[in-house]
Structure 1
Amino acid sequence: MTFQVRWPDGSETACYSPSLVVHDWLTAGAEYPLADFVERSTTALRIASERVAAAYGFACTSAMQQQAEITTIAATHEGGAVRVLEMHPPLPAPATAPAPPAGASS
């Protein structure tokens, strides 16, 4: 999956994760204080790498490289907020139960 972020200086970065677990830690449209964003994304990317390791027997170097890039970019800022602009693929909308037939009693 990919997630696009805007840094405090207005620059943007397209980020990659091998797992949708990022949805558990970040929300499209949300803004996070810089340190919180780094912590959340680091946790999500670590879990994503661990999932790859469990499935394939080796950690995901792309996830770890992405985490290092986020940490490096964050170090160039002295605070501020990071906005998650979008996430692809988005999570599917929750399924809704069909309405009971007209005239059905409970």
Structure 2
Amino acid sequence: MPEVRFTIRWPDGSIESCYSPSLVIKDYLTSGETYALPDFLARSREALTIASARVEARYGFPCSLALRQLARLEQAGQAYATHPDARVAVEAFAE
């Protein structure tokens, strides 16, 4: 499976490198786009859940890296949850 790394910019300007075990992430996030925090988290949740399921279908077990990445995004997103205008930018993808 082709894995993908993508870089995001959180509302405070910090940059984070992220991981997906599948290209499906590109169906949900677009390089150069900025998303409202709840939308970004929902898209990430759906894409990384699908990516993990694809790994499970192929190898017989879910992708722990995808699930950890999702947990990390959810946890980091909590810091901005009280900011109604919080947005997350997808900076770039690297395969």
TM-score, reference length from structure 2: 0.91
1:11 aligned to 2:17? no
Q: Cα distance, 1:12 vs. partner?
A: 1.0
Match of 1:42 in 2: 45
Identify, as 1 or 2, the structure richer in strand: 2
1:62 aligned to 2:68? no
Count of aligned pairs: 89
SS class of match (1:28): coil
Give unpaired runs (5+ residues) of structure 2.
Answer: none
Over the aligned positions, Cα root-mean-square deviation in angstroms equals 0.6
1:23 to 26, 30, 38: 26
Give unpaired runs (5+ residues) of structure 1.
Answer: 90-106
1:72 aligned to 2:78? no
Match of 2:88 in 1: 82
Q: Larger Rg: 1 or 2?
A: 1
Identify, as 1 or 2, the structure richer in helix: 2
TM-score, reference length from structure 1: 0.82
Query: What amino acid is aligned across from residue 88 of structure 1 in structure 2?
Result: A
Distance 1:88 1:37 in 2: 19
